[in-house]
Amino acid sequence: MNDPRLQRIEELALDRALVGLSPSEELELEGLLAATGRALDPEIELAAAALDGALSGRRTALPESLAARLAASAAHLRPPAALTPVKRIGTPAAAHSTALPAWSGWLAAAAAGAVALFAWLGREGAVEPARLRAELLARAATLERAWSEPGPPTGASGDVVWSQDEQTGVMRIAGLAPNDPTVEQYQLWIFDETQEHPVDGGVFDVVAGEILVPIDAKLPVAKPTLFAVTREKPGGVVVSDQKRIVLVAPI
């Protein structure tokens, strides 16, 4: 292994399987994989799982109350096979893809599952963002927070509307600088107190004027604490370095 980048990828993959990675290490791994065109070796994580099975202690049955809750929650889920693609509406970028090409085979399931989550949770497909925003605002539990600029003011404004119950929302943004999608794109992040990394809320572009962007949370959000918009490379990133935050909306 002459390329030191490949050596580092292997180190990070091993650490990831054993003890997990910090956000900066995740970002480093993402960058190395993108730069080298390599994918993570799925057998590393499998080996850790096999060792775990070998070293584990006695198994005991799930508590009855927990098993009942799990069965009940499963009853509300629809199988992935029954999913249909959710139409993207408004201004979100059409070609949204993660920048981590590493997940291969069935180890990609977590990411794939997250992508499918929109439909899994039984959400409707094409709804005009203006109508969706109005419907959400009519509900008492919907959050509405104004955007603010963490850096020097540029005149950008608007708000974010979010329904925790329905795990959906709409961003209203005005005055944000138009972007060239071949150079960079905007990406929404939802900070969740219960998760190590902010949840990807979707990639979008700004042409001009005021825009309404439906929020496309890639994972369930349990306790949102902050919405933030960053500038990222085309297609967005899996984990942002958060160096180019342009808008924030604390909860």
Partner 1 sequence: MTHSTLPGPSLLQRVARGDASAVQACLDEHGPLVWALARRLCPSSADAEDVVQEIFIALWKSADQYDPALGTESTWVTTVARRKLIDLRRRVARRGPTSELGEEHASAARDQGELAAESDDAERARKAMAELRPEQQRVLELAIVHGMTYDEIARKLALPLGTVKTHARRGLMRVRELLSRGPAARPGGAT
Residues in contact with partner 1 by CB under 8 A are 10-11, 14-15, 17-20, 22, 41-63, 66-67, 69-71, 73-75, 77-82, 105-110, 112-114, 116-117, 120, 194-196, 220
Residue 78 or residue 131: which is nearer to partner 1 going by CB?
A: 78
- Cα distance between residue 67 and residue 61, in whole Å: 9
User: Taking the complex as a whole, how short is the minimal distance between the CB of residue 152 and partner 1, in angstroms?
Assistant: 31
* Closer residue to partner 1 (CB): 52 or 180: 52
Smallest distance from partner 1 to CB 3, Å: 17
SS3 call for 215: coil
Q: Which is nearer to partner 1, 142 or 168 (CB)?
A: 168
- In the complex with partner 1, which residue's Cβ is closer, 154 or 194? 194
**Tokens 């290490």 — which residue?**
25
The sign of the torsion formed by the CA atoms of 133, 137, 141, 142 equals positive
Judged by beta carbon, residue 16 or residue 145, the one nearer partner 1 is 16
Minimum Å gap between C-beta 72 and partner 1 is 10
| Torsion sign (Cα): 155, 143, 76, 123 | negative
CB of 168 to partner 1, least distance (A): 17
Q: How far is the CB of 134 from partner 1 (least distance, A)?
A: 30
The 10 Å CB-count burial string (b at 16+, else e) for 218-233 is bbebeebebbbbbbbe
**Which is closer to partner 1, CB of 196 or CB of 210?**
196
- The answer to whether residues 155 and 250 touch, using CB atoms and an 8 Å cutoff, is no
Is-contact 123 136, C-beta < 8 A? no
Smallest distance from partner 1 to CB 53, Å = 4
* Rounded distance between C-alpha atoms, residue 203 and residue 216, angstroms: 8
